[in-house]
Chains A and B, each alone.
Chain A
Amino acid sequence: MAGMNSPATVGKTRSSGLPGSARFSPRRRRQISQAVQYTLFVAVALTLVLVADWERVQRGFFDGTSAASMFPELITVAMKNTVIFTITGYVLGFALGLVVALMRLSSAAPNRIVALVFIEVFRGLPALLVFILIGFGLPIAFPGFSLPFGIYGTVALALGLVAAAYLAETFRAGIQAVPRGQMEAARSLGMSYSRAMVTIVVPQAIRIVIPPLTNELILLFKDSSLVFALGLTAATTELTKLGRDVSIEFATSTPLLLAGATYLVITVPLGYAVRRLEARQAKERR
Chain B
Amino acid sequence: MSAAGDGSGRMVEIRGLSKSFGDLEVLSGIDVTVEAGEVVCVIGPSGSGKSTLLRCVNMLEVPTAGSVHVSGVELTHRDVDIDAARRMIGMVFQQFNLFGHLSVMDNVTIAQRRVLRRTKGEAERIGRENLAKVGVAEKESSYPPQLSGGQQQRVAIARALSMNPEVMLFDEPTSALDPELVGDVLGAMRQLAEEGMTMLVVTHEMQFAREVADRVLFMDEGMLVEQGPPSQVIADPRHERTRTFLARVLNPTHAGE
**Contacts from A to B (Cβ < 8 Å):** 179, 181-182, 184-192, 195, 199-200, 203-204, 207, 284
Let me know if B101 is at the binding interface, CB within 8 A.
Answer: yes
Q: Mark B133-158, 1 if CB is under 8 A from A, else 0.
A: 00000000000010000000000100
- CB pair B60–A187 under 8 Å, yes or no, is yes
- CB pair B97–A190 under 8 Å, yes or no, is no
- CB pair A195–B93 under 8 Å, yes or no, is no
> What CA separation (Å) do A187 and B110 show in the bound complex?
12
With CB as the reference atom, state the residue of chain B lying closest to A192. B83
> What CA separation (Å) do A57 and B123 show in the bound complex?
70
Interface range, B side: 20 to 34
Let me know if B95 is at the binding interface, CB within 8 A.
Answer: yes
Known: A189-B159, A190-B163. A184 touches B97 (CB 8 A): yes
Q: Mark B50-78, 1 if CB is under 8 A from A, else 0.
A: 00000000101000000000000000000
- CB pair A190–B115 under 8 Å, yes or no, is yes
At the interface, is chain A mostly helix, strand, loop or mixed? helix
Shortest beta-carbon contacts, A-B, top 7: A189-B111, A185-B97, A190-B87, A181-B97, A188-B91, A190-B115, A190-B86
> What CA separation (Å) do A207 and B145 show in the bound complex?
15
Residues of the B chain whose Cβ atoms lie less than 8 Å from the Cβ of A184? 60, 93, 97
Residues of the A chain whose Cβ atoms lie less than 8 Å from the Cβ of B100? 182, 204
- CB pair A179–B115 under 8 Å, yes or no, is no
- CB pair A189–B163 under 8 Å, yes or no, is yes
- CB pair A199–B110 under 8 Å, yes or no, is yes
Let me know if B1 is at the binding interface, CB within 8 A.
Answer: no
Tell me which of B95, B111, B116, B160 has the highest count of chain A C-beta atoms within 10 A of its own C-beta.
B111
Residues of the B chain whose Cβ atoms lie less than 8 Å from the Cβ of A179? 95, 97
12 A-B pairs with C-beta separation under 8 A: A179-B95, A181-B95, A181-B97, A185-B98, A185-B99, A185-B156, A187-B83, A189-B163, A190-B84, A191-B83, A191-B115, A284-B145
Give the residues from 188 to 213 in chain B that come closer than 8 angstroms, CB to CB, to chain A. none
Q: Shortest beta-carbon distance, A259 to chain B, in Å?
A: 40
> What CA separation (Å) do A204 and B102 show in the bound complex?
10
Q: Shortest beta-carbon distance, A182 to chain B, in Å?
A: 6
Q: Shortest beta-carbon distance, B70 to chain A, in Å?
A: 13
With beta carbons under 8 angstroms apart, the residue of A188, A189, A207, A284 that contacts B101 is A207
- CB pair A186–B111 under 8 Å, yes or no, is yes
> What CA separation (Å) do A182 and B156 show in the bound complex?
12
Q: How many A-B residue pairs have CB under 8 A?
A: 61
With CB as the reference atom, state the residue of chain B lying closest to A185. B97
Q: Shortest beta-carbon distance, A170 to chain B, in Å?
A: 18
Q: Shortest beta-carbon distance, A201 to chain B, in Å?
A: 10
Residues of the B chain whose Cβ atoms lie less than 8 Å from the Cβ of A199? 110, 114
- CB pair B99–A181 under 8 Å, yes or no, is no
- CB pair A189–B86 under 8 Å, yes or no, is yes
> What CA separation (Å) do A188 and B145 show in the bound complex?
21
Known: A181-B97, A204-B101. 4 other contacts (CB 8 A): A185-B93, A189-B86, A189-B87, A190-B116
With beta carbons under 8 angstroms apart, the residue of A182, A192, A195, A284 that contacts B97 is A182
With beta carbons under 8 angstroms apart, the residue of A182, A188, A191 that contacts B114 is A191
> What CA separation (Å) do A190 and B58 show in the bound complex?
10
Residues of the A chain whose Cβ atoms lie less than 8 Å from the Cβ of B87? 189-190
Residues of the B chain whose Cβ atoms lie less than 8 Å from the Cβ of A186? 99, 111
Let me know if B246 is at the binding interface, CB within 8 A.
Answer: no
- CB pair A195–B115 under 8 Å, yes or no, is yes
> What CA separation (Å) do A200 and B111 show in the bound complex?
10
With CB as the reference atom, state the residue of chain B lying closest to A207. B101
Residues of the A chain whose Cβ atoms lie less than 8 Å from the Cβ of B89? 188
> What CA separation (Å) do A281 and B138 show in the bound complex?
27
Q: Shortest beta-carbon distance, B68 to chain A, in Å?
A: 14
Residues of the A chain whose Cβ atoms lie less than 8 Å from the Cβ of B114? 191, 195, 199
With CB as the reference atom, state the residue of chain A lying closest to B113. A199
> What CA separation (Å) do A284 and B86 show in the bound complex?
33
